[in-house]
Amino acid sequence: MAVINITVNGIKISKEIADNTILSDFLRDDLALTGTHIGCDTSQCGACVVHLNGNSIKSCTALVADCDRSEITTIEGLATNGKLHPMQEAFKKNHGLQCGFCTPGMVMSAVDLLKKNKNPSEQEIRDWLEGNICRCTGYQGIVAAVKDAASKM
Amino acid sequence: MKSFNFKSATNTKEAVKLISGRATFLAGGMTLLPAIKLRLAAYSDLINIKKIKGLSGIKVSSKSLRIGSTTTHAEVAASKEVGKSISSLAILAEGIGDPQVRNRGTIGGSIANNDPAADYPSACLALNATIHTSKRKISADKFFTGMFETDLKKGELVESIEFEVPEKSSYAKFPNPASRYALVGVYVAKLKKEVRVAVTGVESCVFRCKKLEDALSSNFSSSAIDNVNISSKGFNADIHASAEYRAHIIKVMAKKAVSSC
């Protein structure tokens, strides 16, 4: 057990946790931030993607202890004052989701892409979303959403 | 998940000292953590080495490129220095796993794990790399000893990897469409004194292909590969590809690599 200090969606948190606590479990079970989904739990599906100090990572394959004194952003941290993030709006508008299970990870991954590449091509979007699996949409709506968001962000 | 103690080291000496009993080093954890979660591995202590400042970073000279062990794949892929001095290495890093794995996974972790289908071990062999550890220098030719096995001793920490800057080089990978691991990966490098060809994904451990090296030494062109006969004996065979198919793809990837040198 050790006390860790992390900032989650702008809120500073100090908490005693077991050394083997996984970030995705911590977010969901300790902080009730259930927007971060656990799909495969083996860092393949991408439903659990969050940002660690601004970079997208798979939270099912990160230790909370390893995130001490770091900043985490989850899907709950994207909207401001009840207004959806442009990427969330774009997913909604372009039918970028059906069942919605993969969506938080897709959105967090796509936001990271646009930070690094403001105007990605369709191929670059598809390559970037390599680590996010969707079993409903066939990806067409998702790619359209990311393109749409890129034009507005 | 089985319980363990998490400790962060601030320098190499401290990290090495903390290794005792069933302890191991933790860098990006992209292999180690899933292995623990799946109960393929169990440790009493994980020693985090990412807070050790000297272990991350890229240094270039005219003859060599040195990458610190905790440098992430994303950092290598985006590095202007790597792009300028050994662009094939930046391209290799860009092709590992997915963006989230590249944001966490490290070069030192990749080579210390020595997955039979990992990309970086082939770069080490082809670019005549020297592995700098907390104890000594090891040539890449002696470093990779078998499936998930290296010459590293217990408590020996990889500090940096020093690659020879080649005249020309290229890496061609035929990736598994799901995992992006190499079904076959071929790294071709024309160094000052020799031509090296390293193959990954094909046997239990990365290896140099002498037949391709000989053919390309006398004629560094993709047509020189046409007459090389690659035997599939001892090659991996699984649901993704037969041994014969892998033998065929080695030549296809080697030609592709030479043409894009």
**Six-digit token pair at A74?**
């989850």
Confidence of residue A129 (pLDDT cuts 50, 70, 90): very high
CATH number at residue A95: 1.10.150.120
pTM: 0.96
**Six-digit token pair at A43?**
């860092």
Same structural domain for residues A58 and A109?
Answer: no
CB A2 within 8 Å of CB B6: yes
Interface test with B, best of A29, A66, A115 (most B CBs within 10 A): A66
Q: What is the pLDDT of residue B78?
A: 97
Same structural domain for residues A67 and A99?
Answer: no
Q: What is the pLDDT of residue B180?
A: 84
**Alpha-carbon torsion (A68, B14, B162, B215), positive or negative:** negative
Tell me the C-alpha distance between B137 and B199, whole Å: 23
CB contact burial A37-47 (16+ within 10 A = b; e otherwise): bbbebebbbbb
Tell me the C-alpha distance between A133 and B25, whole Å: 30
The tens digit of pLDDT for each residue in B47-70 reads: 999 999 999 999 999 999 999 999
The stretch B157-179 carries a mean pLDDT of 95
The stretch B204-233 carries a mean pLDDT of 97
Question: Which residue ranges make up each domain of chain B?
Answer: 1-54, 168-259
Rounded to a whole number of angstroms, the distance from the CA of B41 to the nearest CA of chain A is 14
Task: Test A109 with B50 for CB contact under 8 angstroms.
Answer: no
Tell me the C-alpha distance between B25 and A86, whole Å: 40
The stretch A41-58 carries a mean pLDDT of 96
Determine the 3-state secondary structure of B245 from DSSP. helix
Q: Please tell me the total count of domains within chain A.
A: 2
CB A91 within 8 Å of CB A64: no
The stretch B138-161 carries a mean pLDDT of 97
Residue B155 in contact with partner chain A when CB distance is under 8 A: no
CB B184 within 8 Å of CB B256: no
Confidence of residue B178 (pLDDT cuts 50, 70, 90): confident
Residue among B104, B90, B122, B106 at smallest CA distance from B189: B122
Same structural domain for residues A70 and A112?
Answer: no
Is pLDDT of A63 > 90? Answer: yes
Is pLDDT of B1 > 90? Answer: no
Domain residues for the domain of A111 are 86-152
**Six-digit token pair at A33?**
């931030």
Task: Test A43 with B29 for CB contact under 8 angstroms.
Answer: no
Same structural domain for residues A57 and A91?
Answer: no
Task: Test A46 with B100 for CB contact under 8 angstroms.
Answer: yes
Nearest to A61 among B29, B48, B179 (CB): B29
Is pLDDT of B13 > 90? Answer: yes
Same structural domain for residues A51 and A90?
Answer: no
Q: What is the pLDDT of residue B34?
A: 95
Q: What's chain B's average pLDDT?
A: 97
Chain A and chain B share a number of CB contacts under 8 A equal to 75
Domain boundary residue among A77, A112, A140? A77
Same structural domain for residues A102 and A40?
Answer: no
Residue among B110, B88, B108 at smallest CA distance from B97: B110
Pick the CATH number of B168-259 from 3.30.390.50, 1.10.3720.10, 3.40.228.10, 2.60.120.380: 3.30.390.50
Chain B residues near residue A63 by CB distance under 8 angstroms: 6, 29, 33, 46
Count CB neighbours of B78 within 10 A.
15
Same structural domain for residues A145 and A122?
Answer: yes
Domain topology for B1-54: 3.30.43
Rounded to a whole number of angstroms, the distance from the CA of B44 to the nearest CA of chain A is 11
Confidence of residue B179 (pLDDT cuts 50, 70, 90): confident
Is pLDDT of B172 > 90? Answer: yes
CB contact burial B139-162 (16+ within 10 A = b; e otherwise): ebeebbeeeeebebeebbbbbbbb
Same structural domain for residues A68 and A91?
Answer: no
The tens digit of pLDDT for each residue in B187-207 reads: 999 999 999 999 999 999 999
Task: Test A61 with B180 for CB contact under 8 angstroms.
Answer: no
Tell me the C-alpha distance between B53 and B171, whole Å: 30
Residue B32 in contact with partner chain A when CB distance is under 8 A: no
Tell me the C-alpha distance between B4 and B169, whole Å: 43
Nearest to A112 among B2, B48, B99 (CB): B99
What is the share, in percent, of chain B residues with pLDDT greater than 70? 100
Task: Test B5 with A19 for CB contact under 8 angstroms.
Answer: yes
Same structural domain for residues A59 and A98?
Answer: no
CB B111 within 8 Å of CB B158: yes
Same structural domain for residues A114 and A58?
Answer: no
Tell me the C-alpha distance between A6 and A10, whole Å: 9
Rounded to a whole number of angstroms, the distance from the CA of B96 to the nearest CA of chain A is 11
CB B129 within 8 Å of CB B140: yes
Confidence of residue A74 (pLDDT cuts 50, 70, 90): very high
CATH number at residue A51: 3.10.20.30
CB A93 within 8 Å of CB A148: yes
CB A111 within 8 Å of CB A73: no
Q: What is the DSSP letter of B178?
A: T
Tell me the C-alpha distance between B13 and B156, whole Å: 10
Same structural domain for residues A73 and A90?
Answer: no
Closest residue in A to B72 (Cα–Cα): A55
The two beta strands, A2-8 and A71-73, are: parallel
Domain boundary residue among A17, A49, A77? A77
Same structural domain for residues A73 and A100?
Answer: no
